Structure 1
Amino acid sequence: SGAELLVSYNTTTSFYPRFPTLTQWKQYGTNFNWEKDYIPGSANYYRFQQNVRNAITIGAPMHFHLGHQLTAHLTPYYMHSDGYGDVGSSLSNTGSYYGNIPAGNLNVSPSYNGSFPVSITDTFKENNAGLNASLSWKHGHNTLTVGYWYAYFTQPEAATYAAADANGSIASMSGKYPVVSAAGDVLHSYNINFMQQTNTAYIVDEYSALNDRLKLSAAFKESMITRQLTQIMPGLPSYRNGNSDAVPLPQVMASYQITPNDQIFVNGTTGFAEPAGWPSYADFISVATGKQTRGHAQNLKPEYAISEELGYRHHGFVNVNIALFNYNFTNRQVSTTEVVGGTRVSSSINGGGQTSRGATIELGLKPWHHLSPYISGQYIHATIDNNLRASSGDYLRTKGKLAVNTPEFTASVGILYDNGSAFGGLLFNYVGSQYSTFMNDEKMPAYETLNMNFGYRFQSAGFLHRPQIQLNLVNLGLGNKGYLSSTYSVATNAHATTGVYGTAIAASAPTYNVAGGFAGIVSVSSGF
């Protein structure tokens, strides 16, 4: 029996980059960024785009041997994070609204043509506490485990406005001195409180036979999720919104050891995912017009996935892993980022049905004269199974098109050297092009990266155990040029199109994450 206490704390301060469209990337490249110096009246100053996050995690895993082959496991935990994210924008001195109520004269100076630059401050606090408890009984070749997981999560979050002075300085980036209406009400883009409760019961039965060469596992989990969002904003049609889901999740797995070095395996699993974050449950109202700009999502069904995998592993001088897989999704939740009320929030789009099939292969060599080469590759063919509903109520002709954010080909080739003292490595990665719209009318280009590292481990000295120095060279060959690494916000269609029922559907451009160019990093470390 035993118990542990694990505590971690982290704080970060950074500035949001500017996320380009494909057209902006082609025109400006890495020069498409925020202004490094403040221009009076402009909201594009980089200091308006600050992001601060503090996080603490506490866990206490415990296990108890109760005799009679019974073992109990308890893991209570608590996670807290808070901070704020700022985005540059502007407010009208006389034409702004608190919800649907005119805010009156805000009397903020300096003013530029009746408006003034602000930093929209999104402040949040996240509290997540839970307990995972299980009891295992081992009898002969069989191990039976039953367990229960409970978690409670709360997240109050609000977006306010902080005005800039003539030099572009903000009195408080954390929202201490917000802009208020003539009546004294703090102006908000939104002001929500989000709650989630998770109850999950599970049972797992594992069986070994033929001298442990055959291993069988069957499991079942029932997850029950309840979500609720409340928002205090005048003029919104709904004060409270939410949903509850109960999802059955069976799983079967089997493996057979053909020889001591060769194994075949087959897995059948299920999984689910709720819509990302709270924005799917919220209504939004514009501070510029006092009118509702977006209602909460109507289709809040969770994603459900059924997956099958068949594979072969060989362990020896040459290590081999080959697998074929098939995934079927309903209510596919595609994670994205959108701007609501001027701020960036994580959300998801219900992409309907999706089928993904493919294969992976990995080959690696055990150290030979201190050298270990490695190669891997994956092919995946992912298609959308139905037409996607557009915001207009019509449907886009997406059935049969390729899924977003899914490159068909990825590959890695590398080699390591390590003689116990001197070490180094070279790794090349290739990621194929991937669509960023459901209509497949825009895609992110393929990209390659080449990274190198080398260093030296010294002999132990005093209380220092094998201190080492290492140099990492990132993105060799790119120079100072960056590249598009992923989609920041997906779109339904990058070009205007006509829906199934003849409705004109306007275009919207996806935006992208820009990865850095070449970097050299030196690190020094030691054990104690």
Structure 2
Amino acid sequence: MKQPSPFRLARTARAAALVLAGATAATVFAQASDADQPRAKDDGVRIGTIVITGQGDKLGAGQMLKEDATKARSTVTRAATEKDRATGNTFQAMSLLPGVNTFSHDATGLFGGTISVRGFTADQMGVTINGVPVNDSGSYSVFPQEYADQENLCTQSVAQGNPDVESPHIGATGGAINIISCDPEDKRRVRFAQTLGGLKLSRTFVRVDSGRFAGDMAKVFASFSHSEADKWKGLGKAKRDHIDAAFSLDPTPDAHVVGSVLYNKAVNHNFLAPTLAQLATGGYYVDFTPVFPGHVKGTNGTADKDTAASPAYYGLTMNPFENAIVSVSGSLRLAEATYLKVQPYYWYGYGTGGTQQRALSETAFLNTSTGKTGAGVDLNGDGDTLDTVVVANSSVTRTQRPGVTAELSHVLGNNQLKFGLWYERAQHRQTGPAVAVDANGNPTDVWLRDGQLVGPTGKPFESRDWLTVSPAYQAYVADTISVMDNAGVIQLGLRAPTITRKFTNTPSEAGGASLVGYTFQKDYSDVLPQVGTRFTIAKEHQVFANIGKNFRAPPNFAFAPTNNNITIVGGVPVLTGNVKAETSIATDVGYRYQSSLMTLSATAFYVAFKDRQSNALDPATLKSIYTNAGDTKKQGLEFEIGSPTFAGFTAYGSVTLQKETVKDNLTVTDGKGGSVTLATSGKQFTLTPNTMVGTSVQYAAGPLYVRVKVKYTGKQYATLMNDEQVPAYTTGDLDAGYKFPDFGILKSPLIRANISNIGNAKYRNPNSNSQLTTQAVGARAADVVSYYLGAPRLFSLTFSGDF
């Protein structure tokens, strides 16, 4: 069947583009200073980050900066995010940027969400906050609701193609996201904000700034927020406590130090991701079971069996997590044109998630003498070990991750040279404990720390027991060469990341290969060149180009006994899978127009993806293993436009046209010892909408502002065989605020309203990009796709003021 062209705008997309063109056409009459408009500039202290010069609200409703980078990069500023709902997260803030496809589990942002950029998912991108890598050290996952309060962030940027040479990542084949906190205020201030809204939304925020002290050398701030909201469907809620703190110190004119502490503790209930069949029978608001069936009364000598609710009982679908990020960044001038930057950091995380409900056999415990399951424990107290009892069990992860980056830079004539080193050692402990559940369905401890069930020998029950130690390091060198009297630059860069995956499996109750203890250690490294250039071809006109190679080492679970990479041969575990790193070569070619009247960026991109990590069949063993599942290619166009303020109006818009094509057919197991080949060659990859359009139009007059944001997301596919299509959808948000005059000690009192999904659109996104086909092929059964559903309209009010 002929595939439709991705470069054919849908009717809705064309309409959105026309609205944007109309909004920005008036800029030809605008009177604005180019110097006032915001521009991206390399951060002089933090490594691999940017700061803003100019004023963020002077261009594109705060959604855009003027850029001089040699690659595509888009940034949303504080001027835009301070008008968003206060509970929002980074993925929501970036939703209008070109190439970005985001989805939030709810409108508040407290439940998290997903993101893909040019079809690359979050676990294929490098994400940093204040220069610290925050991708999960094992799986590379990203959890946007954990990192910071939006009030404390200045910029949130995405490099859609290649990460910077100094990026501290070993898992980024698809660009980078950089989040930067604002420094403390120069003047002493106390800020208070209270948010109330639908779904029992409540948030209290307090921030205290010291102002400059110690002879104006130092300043600090600390903030605390508490947020709660109910789920929009089913029972359950989110509760989040968050602390941000930062300092800035200028001990001498040649030395500058900044640091931050970001702490988060949250307990959320999860949303059910239904299948199309569940949607058809249960409706749009179908969710987890609201009532716990209870426990069967135990009878000695009888094999009693608890009823496990289906879907699971909502009280046993919890996501508690606690994490902290501590970093210090220092810059010291060693000589007239020589600087040293050093940034140590520490990342800590502990939590669990998913579905805890488990019907556990009383004889499912490990017999440490025989190395097999079958040891019995009386879980319900009826005097036998014949029963099956519902308990709370899920995967727990505890991560400790210290690291440091150091960079020496020197200006030599027209050359700006950088030499850097990055090192970290991540210890990733993953277990699967279980605790009892009372008659009302409440687990003994939602964190699964206290009251763990133990076997006859005193060993805790574990549905997994893994330890991954991942020391990683990277050396890099870069040269930025100024040419043609500073009309152009040429950037040459080279980085060489290396990581060691040392994976240890301790025998656990998971069965199969999990019953055998083993340790595998494997090193991954590559040399990654990057070349970029940017030229000013005439006043206000730039062209740029960038090409680079990127690298992603396999996640730690590629070595897990549950991933079919491990085969027990003669009682000895053998790594039978060819677990390779994946690589990509990304190319950006673009044009920028930057004047006081309008800023425009247009980028054409092409990405060649090799050795994509995926579950596929090894023909030699007929096992489904984590290995190379073939090559893909991505190509597309991205447009971004922003206007200054004219008669109170400012506007922003982006358009993305893209296509990702699978180059090879995929061979997979059929579940019965054989294999089937799927005709995936030429198919489009999942989670890659062909068309996306984002617009923001803002009007401000004195103390009043009103803003409308619209996002169109084109059709996409839920399966690699393209046999289940996800319909296109459009969402819109309305934000407004009014600043009142000062009143006594209350300064800058502001009330703002936020309405999400104002049209109450219903839409869905696949919860995974790994489903292959909804059709049975040979002896292989069909896959069933589950979906995240779009949250309905939500209204909230926030009052804030300074003291």
Q: Same fold (TM over 0.5)?
A: yes
Task: In structure 2, give the amino acid aligned to 1:149.
Answer: W
Task: In structure 2, give the amino acid aligned to 1:199.
Answer: Y
User: After the TM superposition, which residues 57-96 of structure 1 pair with which residues of structure 2 at under 5 Å, given as runs?
Assistant: 57-85=325-353, 87-96=355-364
Query: Alignment partner for residue 331 of structure 1, among 611, 617, 620?
Result: 611
Pairs aligned (count): 503
1:25 is displaced (CA, Å) by: 2.8
CA change 1:107–1:241 in 2 (3 A) is: same
Q: Secondary structure at the match of 1:24?
A: helix
Quote the residue 1:170 is aligned against.
443
Quote the residue 2:53 is aligned against.
none
Task: In structure 2, give the amino acid aligned to 1:125.
Answer: R
1:527 is displaced (CA, Å) by: 5.5
Query: Alignment partner for residue 356 of structure 1, among 620, 634, 655?
Result: 634
Query: Alignment partner for residue 187 of structure 1, among 450, 456, 461?
Result: 461
1:186 is displaced (CA, Å) by: 2.3
After TM superposition, the score normalised by the length of structure 1 is 0.88
CA distance in 1, matches of 2:537, 2:801: 42
The question of 1:108 aligning with 2:375 is answered no
Is residue 106–residue 181 contact of structure 1 (8 Å, CA) maintained in 2?
yes
Is residue 308–residue 359 contact of structure 2 (8 Å, CA) maintained in 1?
no
Quote the residue 2:772 is aligned against.
492
Query: Alignment partner for residue 212 of structure 1, among 486, 510, 513?
Result: 486
CA distance in 1, matches of 2:360, 2:328: 51
CA change 1:67–1:328 in 2 (3 A) is: same
**Structure with the higher helix share, 1 or 2:** 2
Quote the residue 2:169 is aligned against.
none
1:182 is displaced (CA, Å) by: 4.0
Is residue 577–residue 626 contact of structure 2 (8 Å, CA) maintained in 1?
no
Is residue 284–residue 295 contact of structure 1 (8 Å, CA) maintained in 2?
no
Q: Deviations over 1:468-502 (max 9, x none)?
A: 22111000111xx753234336312222114xxxx
Query: Alignment partner for residue 321 of structure 2, among 42, 53, 69?
Result: 53
1:233 is displaced (CA, Å) by: 1.0
Quote the residue 2:588 is aligned against.
309
Q: Deviations over 1:137-163 (max 9, x none)?
A: 102221011111111101111112223
Quote the residue 2:503 is aligned against.
229
The question of 1:410 aligning with 2:692 is answered yes
1:460 is displaced (CA, Å) by: 4.9
Q: Secondary structure at the match of 1:127?
A: strand
Give the CA RMSD over aligned residues.
2.8
CA change 1:369–1:446 in 2 (3 A) is: same
CA change 1:217–1:201 in 2 (3 A) is: same
Q: Secondary structure at the match of 1:135?
A: strand
User: After the TM superposition, which residues 360-371 of structure 1 pair with which residues of structure 2 at under 5 Å, given as runs?
Assistant: 360-371=638-649
Which structure has more relative contact order (CA 8 Å, sep 6+)? It is 2
Q: Deviations over 1:245-289 (max 9, x none)?
A: 11111111111112331111111122122334x322200399xxx
CA change 1:14–1:106 in 2 (3 A) is: same
Task: In structure 2, give the amino acid aligned to 1:422.
Answer: L
CA change 1:212–1:525 in 2 (3 A) is: farther
CA change 1:189–1:104 in 2 (3 A) is: same
The question of 1:131 aligning with 2:399 is answered no
Q: Deviations over 1:93-121 (max 9, x none)?
A: 44524386233433222899942212113
CA distance in 1, matches of 2:626, 2:726: 19
CA distance in 1, matches of 2:606, 2:748: 45
Is residue 551–residue 583 contact of structure 2 (8 Å, CA) maintained in 1?
yes
CA distance in 2, matches of 1:297, 1:425: 56
Is there any run of 5+ residues in structure 1 with no aligned partner, and where?
287-291, 336-346, 499-503
Task: In structure 2, give the amino acid aligned to 1:67.
Answer: A
Q: Deviations over 1:6-28 (max 9, x none)?
A: 11111111011111123323433
CA distance in 1, matches of 2:653, 2:614: 30
1:71 is displaced (CA, Å) by: 0.6
CA distance in 1, matches of 2:574, 2:314: 31
Query: Alignment partner for residue 270 of structure 2, among 16, 31, 49?
Result: 16
CA distance in 1, matches of 2:769, 2:665: 20
Is residue 447–residue 485 contact of structure 1 (8 Å, CA) maintained in 2?
no
Query: Alignment partner for residue 25 of structure 1, among 263, 273, 279?
Result: 279
User: After the TM superposition, which residues 382-401 of structure 1 pair with which residues of structure 2 at under 5 Å, given as runs?
Assistant: 382-392=660-670, 393-401=675-683
CA distance in 2, matches of 1:334, 1:521: 42
Is residue 718–residue 724 contact of structure 2 (8 Å, CA) maintained in 1?
yes
Q: Secondary structure at the match of 2:394?
A: strand
Is residue 706–residue 735 contact of structure 2 (8 Å, CA) maintained in 1?
yes
**Structure with the higher strand share, 1 or 2:** 1
Is residue 506–residue 517 contact of structure 2 (8 Å, CA) maintained in 1?
no
Is residue 497–residue 526 contact of structure 2 (8 Å, CA) maintained in 1?
yes
Is residue 348–residue 399 contact of structure 2 (8 Å, CA) maintained in 1?
yes
Is residue 353–residue 386 contact of structure 1 (8 Å, CA) maintained in 2?
yes
Query: Alignment partner for residue 196 of structure 1, among 461, 465, 470?
Result: 470
Q: Deviations over 1:48-95 (max 9, x none)?
A: 111111111111100010113111110111111112336243334445
CA distance in 1, matches of 2:627, 2:724: 17
CA distance in 2, matches of 1:178, 1:91: 16
Is residue 482–residue 489 contact of structure 2 (8 Å, CA) maintained in 1?
yes
The question of 1:249 aligning with 2:528 is answered yes
1:452 is displaced (CA, Å) by: 0.7
CA distance in 1, matches of 2:754, 2:793: 10
Is residue 266–residue 322 contact of structure 2 (8 Å, CA) maintained in 1?
yes
Quote the residue 2:579 is aligned against.
300
Is residue 215–residue 255 contact of structure 1 (8 Å, CA) maintained in 2?
yes
CA distance in 1, matches of 2:691, 2:592: 22
Query: Alignment partner for residue 763 of structure 2, among 468, 476, 483?
Result: 483
Quote the residue 1:451 is aligned against.
733
Task: In structure 1, give the amino acid aligned to 2:697.
Answer: I
Q: Deviations over 1:400-443 (max 9, x none)?
A: 11112111111112311123421121111111122222222223
The question of 1:269 aligning with 2:548 is answered yes
1:454 is displaced (CA, Å) by: 0.5
Is residue 242–residue 281 contact of structure 1 (8 Å, CA) maintained in 2?
no
Task: In structure 2, give the amino acid aligned to 1:194.
Answer: T
1:232 is displaced (CA, Å) by: 0.7
Quote the residue 2:799 is aligned against.
524
CA change 1:334–1:373 in 2 (3 A) is: farther
Is residue 407–residue 421 contact of structure 2 (8 Å, CA) maintained in 1?
yes
Quote the residue 2:202 is aligned against.
none
Query: Alignment partner for residue 160 of structure 1, among 426, 430, 433?
Result: 433
Quote the residue 1:442 is aligned against.
724
The question of 1:322 aligning with 2:576 is answered no
Is residue 318–residue 356 contact of structure 2 (8 Å, CA) maintained in 1?
no
Is residue 334–residue 351 contact of structure 1 (8 Å, CA) maintained in 2?
yes
CA distance in 2, matches of 1:220, 1:262: 29
Is there any run of 5+ residues in structure 2 with no aligned partner, and where?
1-254, 295-306, 565-570, 616-624
| The 10-residue stretch of structure 1 (204-213 or 39-48) with the greater mean CA deviation from structure 2 | 39-48
CA change 1:369–1:110 in 2 (3 A) is: farther
Is residue 103–residue 181 contact of structure 1 (8 Å, CA) maintained in 2?
no
Q: Secondary structure at the match of 2:653?
A: strand
CA distance in 1, matches of 2:493, 2:260: 29
Q: Deviations over 1:284-324 (max 9, x none)?
A: 399xxxxx9x9978242122110111111111212211111
Quick one: percent identity of the two aligned structures?
23
1:37 is displaced (CA, Å) by: 2.4
CA change 1:116–1:110 in 2 (3 A) is: farther
Quote the residue 1:341 is aligned against.
none
1:224 is displaced (CA, Å) by: 0.7
1:351 is displaced (CA, Å) by: 4.1
CA distance in 1, matches of 2:714, 2:494: 36
